[in-house]
Amino acid sequence: MALFDLTGRVALVTGANTGIGQGIALALAAAGADIAAVGRSAADETAAKVRSMGRRCELVSADLSSAAPVTEVVDTVVSKLGRLDILVNNAGIIRRADSLDFTEADWDAVMDTNLKTLFFLCQAAARHMTGWASQTGQRGKIINVASLLSFQGGIRVPSYTASKSGVAGLTKLLANEWATKGINVNAIAPGYIATNNTAALQADETRNRQILERIPEGRWGAPEDIGGAAVFLASKASDYVQGQVLAVDGGWMGR
């Protein structure tokens, strides 16, 4: 098998309807993987693009604001696509307010979606992956989407920073536990990516200029920039990569 060839592999991608999640799903499909797009919003556009490449794409509706649907989601993906080789935990939310005014409801909502559900999706996927990894010699791949705030503090997003710092730590812990079980666990920390979620920042002339001045590449990232990193972490090329949080940020963290 070629190092980056994902032919015959099945990838579950959460939040694949737009932005970074869509970019990852399309990159994995281009490398040969079949896709299960999981989330609250239908990923019809993503599915059409994946199928146009000759790959299968199943849409699985689930509200990931709690861990309740996790086992059913994984079982559904395996039932419809026959297996599960790659999990991409991309779905996440953010709430903004000064820390003095931040509410318990906003804290819980972000932590439940970004960290609790992510952990239990990892767990459910790993239970499936360990069943065939020892038999086939193929490795399962788990890719969590972290953040630059896994390294930095940020402002006015206390639960988001806490959750993404937790994602980085959890990625390392799971890699420690599951490496010998045939599973690689790593994370991607996207930099400033041009998506619908960052449209307001891009439109703010002052803030946009400040951001670009900090990025050595001198441009916003695109979803496909994250997709390339995901293909690497999903492929045989990363079989000896464990517990890493890969910043794909145009050089932001090195500035």
DSSP string, the chain: --TT--TT-EEEEETTTSHHHHHHHHHHHHTT-EEEEEESS--HHHHHHHHHTT--EEEEE--TTSSTTHHHHHHHHHHHHS---EEEE---------TTT--HHHHHHHHIIIIIHHHHHHHHHHHHHHHHHHHH-PPEEEEEE--GGGTS--SS-HHHHHHHHHHHHHHHHHHHHHGGGTEEEEEEEE-SB-SGGGHHHHH-HHHHHHHHHH-TT-S-B-HHHHHHHHHHHHSGGGTT--S-EEEESTTGGG-
Instruction: Measure Cα distances from 25 to 3, 84, 109, 131, 219 in Å.
Output: 18, 14, 25, 24, 23
Measure the N-to-C terminal CA separation of the chain; round to a whole number of Å: 38
Q: What pLDDT, on a 0 to 100 scale, did the predictor assign at position 131?
A: 78
Q: Give the pTM.
A: 0.96
Question: Which is the catalytic residue, given 160, 178, 192, 252?
Answer: 160
Confirm whether 160 is a catalytic residue.
yes
Q: pLDDT 10s digit of each residue in the chain, 255 long? A: 589 999 999 999 999 999 999 999 999 999 999 999 999 998 999 999 999 999 999 999 999 999 999 999 999 999 999 999 999 999 999 999 999 999 999 999 999 999 999 999 999 999 999 976 656 778 999 999 999 999 999 999 999 999 999 999 999 999 999 999 999 999 999 999 999 888 888 999 999 999 999 999 999 999 999 999 999 999 999 999 999 999 999 999 999
Closest CA to 23 of 188, 201, 141: 188
Name, in order, each residue with C-beta under 8 angstroms of 33's C-beta and a sequence gap of 6 or more: 6, 7, 9, 10, 11, 55, 85, 86, 234
Residue-level pLDDT at 134: 57
Instruction: Specify the pLDDT at position 133.
Output: 61
Which residue ranges form the domains of the chain, and what is each CATH number? Answer: 10-195+223-245 (3.40.50.720)
Contact between 185 and 175 under an 8 Å Cβ cutoff? The reply is yes
